[in-house]
Amino acid sequence: MGEITPALFRAGSGEPVLLLHGFTGAWHHWRPILGELAARYEVVAPTLVGHDGGAALPAGMGVSYEEATDVLEAHMDQLGLDTAHVVGNSMGGALALSLAKRGRARTVVALAPAGGWSRGDGEAQRLGRFFARQIRITRATASRVDRVMRRPLARKLALREIMRHGELLAPVDAAALALAALRCEVADKAIAALAADDPELLLADLDRITCPVLMATPEHDRVLPPPLHAPRYRREIPGVEAITLPGCGHVPMWDDTALVVRTIAGFIDRHAAPQQQPATVGLPAAGADAPVVAEAPAEVQEPAAAQAPGEVQAPAVAESPGVGEASGPDLVSA
């Protein structure tokens, strides 16, 4: 049965596909690809617990992936999903892999999955600073977000950390991406855990994964730079297929919708039961015109603005030459 509420998008029929968004996000982060996927599969995209529009964070719940996966499994049970093809972006990618460890995933497509850093490498603390600054600046500029996002150049600058082509978003979508972070109930706990380099924010025991896994790394990911976040997953997930999504930023479905749909559909169709595969009208056959397997970029792209040594540029409201007013907060979902 179809449903569209702040807590859940559900539509379509066929193989079940569960879409898991990133940190501070909501199900509408998947908006660019929902129509095409729902024409082929049963698409279920929840807003995760503690996020904008989702269920309240249970009393006493921490921010470990184990606890989050417990809640997510219970939600799958409520939705009547024993298993599903799981697609996750950033934090959602880590949760997809965590579900796979428990046998709840038929396949996994992990788009820039979080949780792949190593304890002590400084990445957790960098991300904590990154998100803290993003939320602080978004809060300070919230009253101007709708006005700022009306201009394409402002959208491009505001979204530069998570996508290459923010100017292509509708103003209403850009504003929604920004303001969702302010309604993320779990944000403060998660940022504190990142600052403490909490080991429960790392995914371990990846050898327990037995389903097919595709790890799709955006070429221009400035939130989780590929050389620092992809290698451990590529080493430790049994049989993982690893590709690069050319021309894409951290939230790739907004940068190249057609590429992301082809990537997801091609992988699912290749591994789904033959009698349940949807028709491939309008899409190439699995593997056709797919992104090529490639190594992660040799170096991390430098942010446009100056930054502290060792730290990726955090979200910022910046004066834009020729624009004449603040460009709006950068948005990040991880």
What is the residue-level pLDDT of the chain in tens, covering all 334 positions? 688 999 999 999 999 999 999 999 999 999 999 999 999 999 999 999 999 999 999 888 999 999 999 999 999 999 999 999 999 999 999 999 999 999 999 999 999 999 999 999 999 999 999 999 999 989 999 999 999 999 999 999 989 999 999 999 999 999 999 899 999 999 999 999 999 999 999 999 999 999 999 999 999 999 999 999 999 999 999 999 999 999 999 999 999 999 999 999 999 999 987 655 554 434 433 333 333 333 333 333 333 333 333 333 333 333 232 323 333 345 444 5
Domain 3-276 is classified in which CATH homologous superfamily? Alpha/Beta hydrolase fold, catalytic domain (3.40.50.1820)
Q: Residue 198 burial by CB count (10 A; 0-12/13-18/19+): exposed, middle or buried?
A: middle
Q: Would you list the domain boundaries of the chain?
A: 3-276
Give the list of residues 6+ apart from residue 59 with CB closer than 8 angstroms, or none: none
Q: How far apart (Å, rounded) are the C-alpha atoms in residues 43 and 48?
A: 15
Amino acid at residue number 179: L
DSSP calls for 91-140: HHHHHHHHHHHTT-EEEEEEES-SS-S-TTSSHHHHHHHHHHHHHHHHHH
